[in-house]
Structure 1
Amino acid sequence: MRIKRHKAVRKTLKFFHVNFGFREPYKVLVDGNFIHAVLATGNGDVEATLSKLLMGNVRAFTTRYTLHELHGMGKEYRATLEGARRLERHKCSYEGVTTAAECIKREVGEKNESHFFVATQDKDLQKYLSKSSVVPIIFKTVNGVSLQKPGSNLQNFVNRASEAKMGIQDYERGTRVMRELAGGEEAQQDQLVRKKKKKAKGPNPLSVRKKSAKGPERRRHNQEAQPAAQAEKPKRRRVRGKARAGAAG
């Protein structure tokens, strides 16, 4: 039975941790009737009892309205008053509050941004908080201290939020795909425009000049031109030796 109860507590803690960010040290607002119920069973340390239930570090708080109510209940609640005084005191942020239950309602609010647990035996307060706020509720039974499971309204809220988140993710994913497709089409159009701009142009007139012969071609041209030049020159007559002697005699 104890193992089954611990599994249920772990499941509830995980629900509030994953969906609403509750984490250690757990902060618990405690009212007078819960303190009285715990001390009546012989458990002298309320904070230790809560820590054992939640299997983690706990900071238990009371309020001056709780202390005021216990003080007005007479000698029967004197031990409860002393037990409440040993807890940290949380200052109620609102003026004009008349009861401890009203102080707890206002401190928790609708969103419970401070991530308070509430430990109470007040059935009306339990019912109000389970319907109107995001708050884990702790209470005392004959079998020990228990953590209430999340109500159906809170479960439905989480399911709707999860579905909405999935819908947003699907929408964003579809939008991203459409953007990628549109980007691909634009890239193709840009490529076509660039191809049209790069049409072949006519050759540059300055670059169409006839190239001069170089290397072996120039040498061959010079060799062909030399015989023609030699043919144009007048040939010198060669005077032989005998002719020169006759001329001298």
Structure 2
Amino acid sequence: MRGKRSKQYRKLMQQYGLNFGFREPYQVLVDADILRDADKFKMDLVGGLERTLHGQVKPSSVITQCSMRHLYAAATEPGVSYLIDKAKTYERRRCGHHPDDHPTPLSAKECLASVVDPKDSKTNKHRYVVASQEQEVRKHMRGVLGVPLIYINRSVMIMEPMAGATSENRDREERGKFRAGLKRGSGSLKRKREDNDNGEVEGHDEGGKPRKKTVKGPKGPNPLSVKKAKKRSTEEDATRWEDIKMEAPGEGSAEQKDADSGVKRKRRRKHKSGANGEEAGEAEPVLEVE
């Protein structure tokens, strides 16, 4: 089997497994004609089915009573006795078409349809894989949802792509799941919000508890770029306070009195020495009346 076709078959069986519940080992329902063609092309029927389905098949395929009766009716033909012995190793599926009620065996289409879809509900309840060489059988099975179809064409086992009805049903279910997921997600994430006078927004979380969310405003400066204030010790603060007290003028000082009387006091100057070598005394303050 070529790699591209093998990859398509593997993806196809994955889709059947996800949407219709197919699982290993697969139940393959065969008819008399595919047994003939498999023997004609010297094919291992069970091994070919496992390679096509990319999974294990039941130790023996499933064949109906009507298909066995078709083989018994052609027992005189060459090579059919070998097919009968081989078919006896397969699991027999009782289709309910007893020879007393049906002297002539039913066709493969009618027999397989009664096994795959006994209530005519267009569903493959027991998840059968149908391997048949008759086109009428495959045409009828395309109308039943979730039926993988296999046939042999020139010694190559081929699995048909998913039928139109089956593909539409798969797409419809996927859309329904997608919508259900959207509704579930929107219900859990939906929040009722109301604006407060303080500029806060009230909401409800998933548990239904009210919560407050502050509205974002202008940001402050970066704390890493702001210069930190230096911390002063107690002794430094006391010394600084004493200096301030000394610098401040007293209540009974001359400066305060001159300021109260409106007289401007002149600055004092000290002279180094006089002409006779004696130090000059301090100059007497001169008062100026404004």
Q: Secondary structure at the match of 1:28?
A: strand
| Other-structure match for 1:23 | 23
The more displaced of 94-103 and 13-22 is 94-103
Task: Give the equivalent residue in structure 2 for 1:63.
Answer: 64
Distance 1:104 1:67, change over 3 A: same
Distance in 1 (alpha carbons) for counterparts of 2:162 and 2:107: 26
Q: Which runs of 5+ in 1 are unaligned?
A: 189-249
Query: Which residue, out of 75, 89, 94, partners 1:91?
Result: 94
Given residue 102 of structure 1, which amino acid in structure 2 is its aligned partner?
A: E
- CA shift, 1:169, in A, is 2.1
Does structure 1 residue 128 correspond to structure 2 residue 140? yes
Mapping of residues 156-235 of structure 1, within 5 Å: 156-177=168-189, 181=192, 184=204
Superposed CA RMSD in Å reads 2.6
Q: Do the aligned residues in 2 keep the contact of 1:63 with 1:100 (CA within 8 Å)?
A: no
Q: Which residue of 1 aligns with 2:164?
A: 152
- Counterpart of 2:5 in structure 1 is 5
SS in 2 for 1:131: coil
How far off is 1:80 after superposition?
Answer: 2.6
Q: Is the 8 Å Cα contact of residues 108 and 133 (structure 1) preserved in structure 2?
A: no
Letter in 2 for 1:18: L
* C-alpha separation in 2, matches of 1:187 and 1:25: 50
**How far is 1:75 from its partner?**
2.1
Count the aligned residue pairs: 186
Distance 2:55 2:177 in 1: 31
In structure 1, what is the equivalent of residue 84 of structure 2?
A: 81
Amino acid at match of 1:57: Q
Cα-to-partner distance string for 1:30-81 (whole Å, 9 max, x where unaligned) = 00001111011112x4222322322321121101111011111242233332
List per-residue Cα deviations over 1:178-215 (Å, max 9, x = no partner): 5x649949966xxxxxxxxxxxxxxxxxxxxxxxxxxx
The answer (yes or no) to whether the contact 2:109–2:136 under 8 Å persists in 1 is no
Structure 1 distance, partners of 2:172, 2:91, is 37
SS in 2 for 1:118: strand
Q: Tell me the TM-score normalised to structure 2 length.
A: 0.57
Question: Hey, what's the Cα distance between the residues in 2 that align with 1:88 and 1:133?
Answer: 24
Please name the residue that 2:267 is paired with.
none
Q: Would the alpha carbon gap of residues 155 and 167 (structure 1) be closer, same or farther in structure 2, given more than 3 Å must change? A: same
Does 2:116 align with 1:117? no
Q: Percent identity?
A: 25
- Which TM-score applies when normalising by structure 1? 0.66
Question: Which residue of the partner structure matches residue 107 of structure 1?
Answer: 115
- State the shift of 1:113 in Å: 2.1
Q: Match of 1:196? A: none
Give me the whole-angstrom Cα distance separating, in 2, the residues matched to 1:187 and 1:144: 65
Contact 2:109 2:137 in 1 (8 A): yes
The structural deviation recorded for 1:23 is: 1.4
Supply the AA of the counterpart residue of 1:75.
Answer: T
| Paired residues of 1:139 and 1:147 also in contact (CA < 8 A) | yes
Whole-angstrom CA distance in 1 between matches of 2:15 and 2:147? 11
C-alpha distance in 2, partners of 1:38/1:71?
18
